[in-house]
Every structure is written in structure tokens, then in C-alpha cells.
A and B are shown apart, each in its own frame.
Chain A
Amino acid sequence: MIQKVTGLSMAVHEQLELYKHRYAPKPGNDTGRRVCIVTGIHGDELEGQYVAFLLGRRLKEHPEFLRCTVDVYPAMNPLGINTIQRGVPLFDLDMNRIFPGADDGPAVEYFAHKAVEDMRGADIAIDIHASNIFLRELPQVRISEETAPALVPLAKELNIDFVWVHAAATVLQSTLAHSLNAMGTKCLVVEMGVGMRLTRAYGEQLTEGILNLLRSQGFWSGETQQPRTPLVSKDEVAFLNAGAAGIFMPETLHGTHVRAGQVLGVIADPLTAEEKEVVTSPVDGLLFTLREYPVVYPGSLLARVLKQEVTA
């Protein structure tokens, strides 16, 4: 059942509306639990759109397997997706920096508040992101240190490649995931693919993972694939930033294992026709982030390599 979560009157005879699709278990199958699948907070991240579609289709095909309520919010920032903008149009705001919002706050904070209140009480939430237009990411879950004990076991069920446990940053307290975790909903943040594109293989991988996670909790009785075993890292990640301006051309495939000293790509100057920098990996490891957008400035992130691979 499609439900309207909240709405606001826009300037010229239009409503800004937030919708969710509620998939309810059949009578007698309900464990009373609820899972929220959330995506589209950043309007340029579309990978979650495919997951929302695939998951919804599976849930509609086999409602008899469902043992909990699943709420799918495909477009948390509908104006951003609609206008191909990462933030919230009109306000120049990153929506994932204003949670939990406020009932008496400005329009976007009010909108965020209504969304969070609608999710309040859910047992698990999965917030699906897609990096941005600049970087391509292997399917991964990012977890802050303080929530790792509760969340890493769930993340391992999600059929992703990598779990990144990172240090807490104060500014991240304004994210949806932080707000939901603070409210008692176990929220996992998924990053995968690249902005403004759909990577169908990743969408299919994560959809299987979500069903597997539901099954592990007793919320789905259908068959699922055996999930892949993710690498779990506690910040053993090497960052490679550009040292020169120009165009970056990768010379290594994303998602492959690289050796220290291996050439990952070059930065070239189209005007002088010269190579300005040869980018090499500082460590052995998994190339889980690789730049997709060619134009770079000094400092632009080119790649991330997982240094120490610890099999879970």
C-alpha cells in the first residue's frame, strides 16, 4: 500500500510530498516487527532506486514469505532526484546534515522531522547511498565505532563486499543513520556504485542481501542466496588524493586487488599533452573506491585501498 508520509504546499500550486510503500505480512504471519528501506536522501544517488524496485517486486511476488512490515521510502529528497541535484533545491542544503529535523523548523527540517517520526519504532533501517558522481564504490556498509557491536553482525548478512568501521565524527551526528540509531532503530548505511547511474549487478546483490538479512532475523521465510563474506576493516584504508590538476585516467579495474607500487592511473594535461602525475598504490590491498569523474584538482580523491584484509 502506498502511503503519503507528509506534504508541504509549494509556491505555485504544487505539493511537495514524501511517499512510502508499505509491504505488510499476510494475516497470521506478522511478528510485529518493522524494517525501513530508505534511499534518495541525496538527489544524485540513484542506485537505491533500482533496489527499491527489485525488492518491492520480490515482496509483491511472495507476500506469503513476509513476517514483518517493510516500509520502502524511495525518494527522501524528491525535489533533488527530480531536478538532478544532490542537495535540496531552493535551500542549498545537504539533507543528510539536518536530521532529526524539527517540527517547528524551516521547511526542510520539518520534512526531515516528519520522515524520522514516521520511521520511529522500526527495528532495522537500511539507508542506501551511491557515493556521488565522482567516485565508484564497491557495495559496502559504513558503521561508526560506537554502533559497531550492534551493527556489524547485521551488516554481514547484507551480501556486501566490505564493512568499513570508521571513527565517529561530530558532524555525522546530523545524519539520518545517527538519528535512527539514537532512537533505537539499528540503521545500516550502504554505499555502492556511482552517482547518477544504476549499477544493476550491485542492485541485485544488495536486494538479495536485504532479503537475507530479513531471513536472518526471522522476517522472511523464502529462500535466499548464501551471502558473500565481507571484509571488515577498522580504518585500515589508504586514501589517494590527486597531487596535480588535470584529467585522471584509471589504469586498473575497480574492485581488483592491487600491489604496492602498482599504477592505478595517470593525471594528464590535455593542453600540454603531458602526464603530470602517475598515481600508484601505496599498499597491497583491495581497490574499493575508484574515481569515475575525470577532471581533478589537487586534493581530489582518486582511490581508496583497503590495506589489511581481515576476513570476517
Chain B
Amino acid sequence: MKQEVLYALDTPYRQRMEIEGFRFGSGEKACAIVGGIRGNEVQQMYVCARLVQAFRRLEEQKAILPGNEILVIPCVTRFSMNVGQRFWPLDNTDINRMFPGYDQGETTQRIAAALFEAVKGYRYGIHFASFYLPGDFVPHVRIMNTGYQTASLGNLFGLPYVVMRTPKPIDTTTLNYNWQIWESNAFSLYTRDTDRIDEASAQQAVSAVLRYLSRVGVVKYNCHSGYMSTVINESTLAPVLTPTGGIFRPKKVPGDPVEYGEVIGEILDPLTAELSAPVTATTSGVVFFATDKPLVLEHEVAFKLIRRLHV
């Protein structure tokens, strides 16, 4: 294992911000793995830290196959994480909206450019990402439909679902999108939590990455085969919106089956605790996402459901 500083930035009133990377094996650039790009992505950093441990053991056991180099970057912005802010502390810009970056540009463009320079050119790129809506997901792999993607590779992680996303304009500045444009096979992995550590889903994510790298011939790793992934298109997920504002009490969690019309949550009046409105399933299927906010506005995404394909 080689631990190195990939980028350093002078900052006023604080120590230099450094992006640290961990390299394993040697040879062709096989896989780059990136954890917390945002300051609240604690789970994402933790999963990568666990991967650093795992790769170190594999390297000691000579289980990283010859000719393959792996790079792990657990935390891109400790500068944000150390002060508990999701985005760049000075101007609240999102580094995952700055790729491929610009080394002569604004601060976060420079950080993105330095990170992208470090991780581009790898055969596989894996980013542990978080969603802008707070809540819990079924663990899944997300792949952008850029025209460069290979959906079948997503199955090799052995996670329950592979979600294909047709990029919107705002996606064109993400790490995942730019990795693909620069001809890496890019995957975003979503685990159950973001700003808290969930051991079970962290372990599932570590196993998924090792399983994947074993299947594509980068490491030797014996594990169970995981799930036969179901590939779904993100646009087919059925949103369930809150019918009014108030206290939200979910009755289902990700992975639960639901029936059309079933009450899967409820909105309570925040001052009397009386039922304001039920939240009902808009289709039969499986809960893919559930918000974990106790207070909700009207028209918020309470759940996203995977439509049942057959009865």
C-alpha cells in the first residue's frame, strides 16, 4: 500500500487541505474508488476506509492480480467534513457539480480538476454517492446512460438493483458522467445512509466492490455470489408524494413489498397529532426509497416504488 497526497490546497486560517489516496498493486490503472466528495458523506468515506483495510490484506496475501493498480480516495473534502458542511464551506458550491474541473478556475473547479486528473484513465471508476433527498435506499448501483455505458457490468456487483439513469443537464458535471465520457466504466454505489454509519450496508458495499473486482479479474476474493441484480430504469420508478405538510410517519422501509392503494405512511398534524392525510402507494411493487425526514412539505417525495413487473 502506498499512501500519498494527490492534491494540496493552501487555505486561509486553517491547515492545507490535502486529498489523500491509497494505491494498491501495480501496473495498468484498473480501478479508482472515490468516497466522500461532500462533507456529510460519512458513510461513503467509511466504506472506502474499510476497502483500504481490505485491499491492504489482499495485497499482503498477494491477492491483487499482477498488472492491476487500484486507487482509493476515501475523502475528497475533509475541509467540509471537519466543519460539518455538505458543500464547500466558503461559497457552498458542490464539487460533484464541477467535473471535469478546470485547473485555472475557481477553487472547487481546481479541486475537481485535480481529483479528476488522479482518477481518470482507470478501467473502472466507482463513486460512493449520496442523493440530494435525505432518506434510505435499497442498496444499488447507478449507471448513467451516456452511450458509453456497459449496463451488464453493473450486475457483477451482486447488489439487488442496477438503476439506469438518463442524464439531465445538471448531471453532465458529475464525476460519474465525466468518467464515462473519458471512457472509464463508471458506477455510483448507493448504500443505506449518508451522514451516519450503517455497518450492515457498509459491509454489503465492501463485499459488492470486492465481488465486482474479483469477477473482472482484478483481485482474488472468495465470497458468496450476491444477488441476481434487477436492472431498472430510474424513470420508471413511481414517486409517492406527500399530500400535505406535517409530521411524516412511514409504515414501510426500503425493500418492503406494497400494494396499490395501500397506506404506506401517514401525515400527522404537527400540533395535535391527528391524522392529516394517509400516504398511499401509487402502484404495486417494492419500496426503493423512503424519506427519513420527520417533517415534510406538501409534494415531497415520501417514497419511490419499483413497479411490479409481473404478478
Residues of A within 8 A of B (CB): 8-14, 16, 86-87, 90-93, 97-98, 104-107, 110, 132, 134, 170-174, 239, 241, 244-247, 269, 295-301
Considering the chains assembled together, what is the distance between the CA atoms of A65 and B92 in angstroms?
44
Residues of chain A within 8 A (CB-CB) of B247 are 11
Contact (Cβ within 8 A) A8 B9: no
Interface membership of B298, Cβ < 8 A? yes
**In this complex, what residue of A is CB-closest to B296?**
A11
Report which of B12, B92, B298 forms a contact with A107, defined as CB distance below 8 A. Answer: B298
Contact (Cβ within 8 A) A104 B169: no
Residues 269 to 311 of chain B near chain A (Cβ within 8 Å): 270-271, 295-301
Contact (Cβ within 8 A) A106 B106: no
Q: Which of B59-67, B155-163, B237-245 contacts the other chain?
A: B237-245
Contact (Cβ within 8 A) A93 B132: yes
Report which of B10, B86, B97 forms a contact with A298, defined as CB distance below 8 A. Answer: B10
Give the 4 A-B residue pairs with the shortest CB-CB distance, closest first. Answer: A299-B107, A11-B295, A9-B245, A173-B169
Residues 222 to 241 of chain B near chain A (Cβ within 8 Å): 239, 241
Considering the chains assembled together, what is the distance between the CA atoms of A132 and B247 in angstroms?
35
Interface membership of B54, Cβ < 8 A? no
**In this complex, what residue of B is CB-closest to A271?**
B13
Considering the chains assembled together, what is the distance between the CA atoms of A12 and B245 in angstroms?
7
A93 CB to nearest B CB, Å: 7
Interface membership of B246, Cβ < 8 A? yes
Contact (Cβ within 8 A) B172 A171: yes
Contact (Cβ within 8 A) B10 A90: no
Considering the chains assembled together, what is the distance between the CA atoms of A246 and B14 in angstroms?
11
Report which of A92, A132, A239, A297 forms a contact with B11, defined as CB distance below 8 A. Answer: A297
Report which of B90, B169, B244 forms a contact with A295, defined as CB distance below 8 A. Answer: B90
B244-270 Cβ-contact flags toward A at 8 Å (1 or 0)? 111100000000000000000000001
Report which of A14, A86, A110 forms a contact with B92, defined as CB distance below 8 A. Answer: A86
B51 CB to nearest A CB, Å: 27
Residues of chain B within 8 A (CB-CB) of A90 are 297
Contact (Cβ within 8 A) B105 A299: yes
**A92-B86, A171-B170 given; 19 more Cβ-contact pairs under 8 Å:** A9-B297, A11-B296, A11-B297, A12-B245, A16-B297, A87-B92, A90-B297, A91-B133, A106-B299, A134-B91, A171-B97, A174-B169, A244-B10, A246-B12, A269-B12, A297-B9, A297-B90, A300-B106, A300-B107
Residues of chain B within 8 A (CB-CB) of A247 are 12
Considering the chains assembled together, what is the distance between the CA atoms of A74 and B169 in angstroms?
27
Supply 21 A–B pairs (Cβ within 8 Å), ascending by A. A8-B245, A9-B298, A11-B295, A12-B246, A12-B295, A13-B270, A13-B271, A93-B132, A97-B170, A98-B170, A104-B239, A106-B300, A107-B299, A134-B91, A174-B169, A239-B105, A241-B104, A269-B12, A298-B110, A300-B90, A300-B107
**In this complex, what residue of B is CB-closest to A295?**
B12
Residues of chain B within 8 A (CB-CB) of A301 are 106
Contact (Cβ within 8 A) A10 B12: no
Contact (Cβ within 8 A) A241 B271: no
Interface membership of B109, Cβ < 8 A? yes
Q: Say whether, besides A10-B245, A132-B91, A170 and B297 are in contact (CB < 8 Å).
A: no
Residues of chain B within 8 A (CB-CB) of A299 are 105-110
Contact (Cβ within 8 A) A245 B11: yes
Residues 167 to 224 of chain B near chain A (Cβ within 8 Å): 168-170, 172-173
Residues of chain B within 8 A (CB-CB) of A269 are 12
Considering the chains assembled together, what is the distance between the CA atoms of A158 and B108 in angstroms?
34
Interface membership of B87, Cβ < 8 A? yes
Q: Say whether, besides A10-B297, A173-B169, A174-B170, A92 and B87 are in contact (CB < 8 Å).
A: yes
B67-97 Cβ-contact flags toward A at 8 Å (1 or 0)? 0000000000000000000110011100001
**In this complex, what residue of B is CB-closest to A110?**
B299
Residues of chain B within 8 A (CB-CB) of A8 are 245, 297-299
Considering the chains assembled together, what is the distance between the CA atoms of A300 and B132 in angstroms?
26
Report which of B12, B104, B109 forms a contact with A296, defined as CB distance below 8 A. Answer: B12
**In this complex, what residue of A is CB-closest to B172?**
A170
Residues of chain B within 8 A (CB-CB) of A93 are 132
Residues of chain B within 8 A (CB-CB) of A105 are 239
A258 CB to nearest B CB, Å: 20
**In this complex, what residue of A is CB-closest to B271?**
A13
Residues of chain A within 8 A (CB-CB) of B108 are 299
Residues of chain B within 8 A (CB-CB) of A91 are 132-133
A15 CB to nearest B CB, Å: 9
Residues of chain A within 8 A (CB-CB) of B92 are 86-87
**In this complex, what residue of A is CB-closest to B276?**
A9
Residues of chain B within 8 A (CB-CB) of A86 are 92
Residues of chain B within 8 A (CB-CB) of A98 are 170
Considering the chains assembled together, what is the distance between the CA atoms of A105 and B245 in angstroms?
16
Contact (Cβ within 8 A) B107 A11: no
B118-133 Cβ-contact flags toward A at 8 Å (1 or 0)? 0000000000000011
Contact (Cβ within 8 A) B270 A11: yes
**In this complex, what residue of A is CB-closest to B90?**
A297
Considering the chains assembled together, what is the distance between the CA atoms of A246 and B246 in angstroms?
45
Considering the chains assembled together, what is the distance between the CA atoms of A247 and B90 in angstroms?
13
**In this complex, what residue of B is CB-closest to A102?**
B239
Residues of chain B within 8 A (CB-CB) of A239 are 104-105
Residues of chain A within 8 A (CB-CB) of B86 are 92
Contact (Cβ within 8 A) B12 A245: yes
**In this complex, what residue of A is CB-closest to B14?**
A245
A45 CB to nearest B CB, Å: 14
